[in-house]
Amino acid sequence: MEKPLILHMDPGVDDALALVLALNSPEFNILGVIASYGNVPRETSLRNIFRILNYLGVDDVKVYKGSYRPIMGHVDYAFDIHGEDGLGNISLPYKGGVASGMAIDFLLESSREYGDLTIVSTAPLTDIALAILADSEFVDRVSRLISMGGAFGLTPYGYGNMGAASEFNVYSDPHAASIVYSSGLDVYSVGLDVTRDPSAVYTEEEVRKIGRGGGAIGKLFPNMVSSILRIEGAVAIHDAVPVAYLVDENILRFKDVYVSVELCGSESYGATIVDRREWLPGDLRQGSRVWVADWIDGGRFKEIMWERVLGPSVGRR
């Protein structure tokens, strides 16, 4: 049975690959895709979603406009990582597209219509927080939120990419993340602890091999990730991991922890802090209960990416 799914993203190279994975996964009933600010401005995200849909020949997926800025603070776009166009400057054609409406209306209406709704967010959590604030019953109608975000220190790789302890999506709107984490929503957070695990990261040699032997998306892959490879020395496809988890839930393990989001610290703004005092009763620990991924089967993740996104049998629909 198809799972009703909403994708909330800010493409971004890894968001774009996550979108391709979802589109090529028959397990999902994709209700719509929300374009948010984040890696790039909202209008660029919107255009990139349509670029991917057009490239794959998909014309039956609705796209909605999300937020253009955080609840508080400013936006730091990631043009250095994702290119001015958000897709690694690969000049993928844009044939146009019209948004079907606004994210908050879509989120609330979908939550009322579907009893087993899953939301995958690979962007700042602003739109999810606004839906929570708009309707007190929203959290009770959503089965779960799977969020790519946070650096929790549960593995050697769970440190920040916007600071010593802050991950980009949470850093971009920590107030929204705090609202979502504390809302009672069933949150599964897929953070840098697992998305940067070496088993799930692509080396320069792997990128070259994919470019030589891949399909329609695989051949674009080396150019899409060239800036990431130059800056970071390897390529983590962060935002595809939560979608891959819905394809095969054995690829991740989650731990139930208490998390606080730092809202004020000059050095730790946006940090996701785990209260490790497990000897304390839950009501005495700081933060809110969140399921945080602390292990990944990187080999299986790469298999899914090859079979459904990058490999030679994957092309335009």
List the domain boundaries for the chain: 3-310
**Mind listing the pLDDT tens digit for each residue in 179-208?**
999 999 999 999 999 999 999 999 999 999
145: β partners: 119, 187
> What's the confidence (pLDDT) of residue 316?
58
Q: Report the alpha-carbon distance of residue 22 to residue 127 in Å, rounded.
A: 20
Joined together, the tokens standing for residue 259 give: 């998390």
What phi-psi label fits residue 289: left (phi over 0), alpha (psi between -120 and 50 degrees) or beta? beta
Confidence (pTM): 0.95
Q: What is the pLDDT of residues 144-154, one digit of tens each?
A: 999 999 999 99
Contact call for residues 10 and 75 (beta carbons, < 8 A)? no
Which stretches does DSSP call E strand in 10-73?
Answer: 28-35, 63-65
1 — pLDDT class (breaks 50, 70, 90): low
Q: How confident is the model at residue 91 (pLDDT cuts 50, 70, 90)?
A: confident
| Lowest mean per-residue pLDDT among 119-128, 144-153, 308-317 | 308-317
Q: Residue type for 244, please?
A: A
Kindly state the average pLDDT of the residues 276-303. 91
| Among 8, 82, 175, 238, the one annotated catalytic | 238
Q: Residue 32 has what pLDDT?
A: 97
pLDDT in tens, 234-273: 999 999 999 999 999 999 999 999 999 999 988 899 999 9
**Which two structure tokens, joined as six digits, stand for 199?**
């088993």
What is the gyration radius of the CA atoms in the chain, in angstroms? 18
pLDDT mean over 218-227:
93
Average pLDDT for 143-171: 96
Residue 115's pLDDT is what? 82
Tell me the torsion sign for CA atoms 40, 130, 238, 259. positive
Task: Please give the share of the chain, as a percent, with pLDDT higher than 70.
Answer: 99
Whether the CB-CB separation of 100 and 64 falls below 8 Å is answered with yes
Share above pLDDT 90 across residues of the chain, in percent, rounded to a whole number: 86
Residue listed under structure tokens 């970071």: 232
- pLDDT at residue 105 above 90? yes
Looking at the domain that runs over 3-310, which CATH code has it been given?
A: 3.90.245.10
Nearest Cα neighbor of 144 from 94, 171, 180 is 180
Catalytic site includes residue 8: no
- Residue 278 — pLDDT band, cuts 50, 70, 90? confident
